Amino acid sequence: MGVNRAIRQVHRWTSIIFAAIVVAIFAMLGMGQQPVEWVYYLPLPPLAVLLVTGLYMFALPYLGKRRDAVAAE
């Protein structure tokens, strides 16, 4: 498996985990339960992974064009 494909897989699975955590927090609030304070910090680690992998995938096309331009010279 290539690096790009692995990063895309990590991004997909992390987004599922992030969404599940956020839905669980809203469900707890909807049922009238007040979760402990640290529960609100649970989405932050997956969000950090999503930020890094998302920025990498965003920059990928621009980095490819730069390599192509340098190779053509």
The predicted model scores a pTM of 0.80
Q: Indicate whether 13 pLDDT > 80.
A: yes
Q: Residue 32 and residue 60: Cα distance in Å, rounded?
A: 44
- Please compute the mean of the pLDDT values over residues 6-27 and round it to a whole number: 96
Residue matched to tokens 């304070």? 37
DSSP state of 31: T
Q: Residue 52 and residue 11: Cα distance in Å, rounded?
A: 9
Domain count, the chain: 1
Among 49, 42, 60, CA closest to 4: 60
- Please compute the mean of the pLDDT values over residues 29-44 and round it to a whole number: 91
DSSP state of 37: G
- The better pLDDT of the pair 13, 35 is held by 13
Residue 20: pLDDT band with limits 50, 70, 90: very high
Look up the domain containing 46 and give its range: 3-72
As a whole number, the mean pLDDT across the chain is 89
Q: Residue 65 and residue 71: Cα distance in Å, rounded?
A: 10
